[in-house]
Amino acid sequence: MTQNKNTYLTDKKFPFCPGCGHGISINALNKALQELNYGPNDVIVVSDIGCSGLIDPLFATHTIHGLHGRSPALGLGVAMGVAQKQNKKVIAFIGDGGATIGLQHILEAARRNIDMTLIVLNNLLYGMTGGQISGLSTQKYKEIIDFEKDVPPFDLIQLTHASGARFAVRVNAPNKIKETLKKAIQTEGFSIVEAASLCPSYGMKRMNDLLEVVEHEEIMEHDRPATKIVDKKVHSLLTETPVIQPAFQSNLKNRKGIIIAGSAGGGAQSVARFLALAGMHAGLETTMKGEYPITVGTGFSVAEVIFDHKPINYTGLETPDYFIIVTEDGLNKIYSKLHSNAKIYIDEKLVTEDLKNEFSNLIAVPFSKMANRKSIALAAAAYVLNQTGLIPVEALKEAVSSHRLKDIFIEVIDKVTQQAV
């Protein structure tokens, strides 16, 4: 692949159908960049899925290829990243189909008003998937194809202007696209150019016919200045990661895994983190994995913890060695994982005759009498550690010592272990 010094394009042949209008906008952008004297390495072109997404190999600039409808979001992120650099320009491409799918990304980019240009190649349809109408298909076009005539299209220029775009323009005549793009690129802030484009395979086959069904040309501008991005110095998370020096000894002989099964609000996730931290205080390698429903505040809450002297390269337990079950929600969630080779510590209220008949390895404990709903998982974990000696209970107390409720938590742990004695 080579590049002519007088162009921002490579020598690759355009991949579009014969007569496709996308090439007009690409050539217009190439000429606009030449006249604005940008260096190829100063331009970042972001493409989308669809016919407009075929442009990546055509540009001898930096290019990024995104998901359908996401090029405005990708472009916005890149623009924010290079905002402190001199003479850089982010130009994103999207089709009218992608603009329909990613409309919120476009409006968000307009609202933020970061310096970038979005080019919308509007051929009034989804060209790559068979010619389906898009959210920008005009009423006149839909009357011709006799489809959804009573559903109005989005006016992308008015929407982006209302959202705060510095420069929003719709251009239909091919001979106006270059100058329009030049002004858009020179605009400091978010600019959007919606350019009419032929789709001879599924839409209009002649430019004159297309011009009869597109929305009228329109220019809308704001005086608001471009949003300035200010770099902030932050400390590296890696350099500030605390190093835990083991202060306790564990009786662990080989890898062990624990599942804590409770309900939302019962502290299962926090207790799993405490257990993992306690394992570190005892010189062990640990992992922790949590699971809970989208509702967060209701339903099950299950967490898994693994301890080992050797590095652990994964999370998740297929055959846990210990179960700590404190509520019915938790029991129902992990029931299928229960097996006869594990120690199953379960609140006595949850034990049924069927459960006892199926699992002879149940250890019924009055967990619900040891603490309130928010501390029951911690009480159960303290009980199991005290019974098994996997990790010293003192290591668990050390793990909770930095929590804002440490006094309450330590009181719960002491109460459970003293009762057990």
Q: What residue type is 404 in one-letter code?
A: R
Tokens of 69: 């409808």
Q: What is the CATH number of domain 22-221?
A: 3.40.50.970
CA dist 39 and 241 (Å) reads 41
Phi-psi region of 87 (alpha: psi -120 to 50; beta: other; left: phi over 0): left
Class in CATH terms, 256-420: alpha beta
Nearest CA among 290, 231, 230, 234 for reference residue 264 = 290
Same CATH fold, 256-420 and 22-221?
A: no
CA dist 391 and 389 (Å) reads 5
Contacts of 150 (CB under 8 A, 6+ apart): none
Please give the chain's pLDDT, 421 residues, in tens. 445 557 899 999 999 999 999 999 999 999 999 999 999 999 999 999 999 999 999 999 999 999 999 999 999 999 999 988 888 999 999 999 999 999 999 999 999 999 999 999 999 999 989 999 999 999 999 999 988 888 999 999 999 999 999 999 999 999 999 999 999 999 999 999 999 999 999 999 999 999 999 999 999 999 999 998 887 787 777 777 778 899 999 989 999 999 999 999 999 999 999 999 999 999 999 999 999 998 878 999 999 999 999 999 988 888 999 999 999 999 999 999 999 999 999 999 999 999 999 999 999 999 999 999 899 999 999 999 999 999 999 999 999 999 999 999 999 999 999 876 5
Contacts of 244 (CB under 8 A, 6+ apart): 277, 280, 281
Distances, alpha carbon 103 to alpha carbons 100, 155, 396, in Å: 5, 11, 50
152 three-state secondary structure: coil
408 three-state secondary structure: helix
Q: Domain ranges in the chain? A: 22-221, 256-420
Pairing of strands 62-65, 322-325: unpaired
Q: Kindly state the helix (H) or strand (E) to which residue 305 belongs, with its residue range.
A: strand 300-308
In the block, tokens 């970042």 appear at: 44
- Tens of pLDDT, residue by residue over 141-182, are 999 998 888 899 999 999 999 999 999 999 999 999 999 999
Record the pTM.
0.66
The answer to whether the beta carbons of residues 210 and 173 sit under 8 Å apart is no
HEC string of 325-360 equals: ECCHHHHHHHHHHCCCCCEEEEEHHHCCHHHHHHCC
Adjacent-strand bridge partners of 43 = 89
In the block, tokens 């502290």 appear at: 267
Phi-psi region of 122 (alpha: psi -120 to 50; beta: other; left: phi over 0): beta
Q: Is residue 368 classed exposed, middle or buried when 0-12, 13-18 and 19+ CB atoms within 10 A define those classes?
A: middle
- Tens of pLDDT, residue by residue over 201-217, are 999 999 999 999 999 99
DSSP summary character for residue 26: H
